[in-house]
Amino acid sequence: MNPVRFLWLAAVLAPLCGCANFDADPVPGARREGNYPNLNIRPKSAAAQYSDAEAGSDRAGLSAIKDVVAAEGATPHESQRERLEELGASHGQKAIEEIEGKPAQ
């Protein structure tokens, strides 16, 4: 931008900055002078806290699942390999048929 044009634009727009009215409340009741929140009142929680007992039971359940999978001798992704390979083989063709509007076979 040309510096002269920038200075001209600034000179035209500078007086307009004083036209803004900042005294109006943007939201009714947003300005409550003399009314301060009481920070000594503990806020109510939205949900029950996750207790140590719940965490322990969840850890025990996950450990049991991990032990079962380890006893089978397969990692979780290997135990689902056949299902995922079948899905991979058929999904591409089904998606193409759906996009083209052809009936699925």
Domain boundaries, the chain: 59-105
**Predicted confidence band at 13 (pLDDT cuts at 50, 70, 90)?**
confident
Say yes or no to pLDDT of 95 above 80.
yes
Give the CA diameter of the chain.
Answer: 80
Average pLDDT over residues 62-90: 80
Say yes or no to pLDDT of 3 above 60.
yes
> Can you give the pLDDT at residue 57?
94
Q: Where are the alpha helices (DSSP H) in the chain?
A: 3-13, 52-72, 76-79, 81-100
How many Cβ atoms are within 10 Å of 81's Cβ, its own excluded? 11
Nearest to 31 by CA among 19, 23, 41, 42: 23
The 10s digit of each residue's pLDDT in 30-68 is 666 777 778 888 888 888 888 999 999 999 999 998 888
End-to-end CA distance of the chain: 62
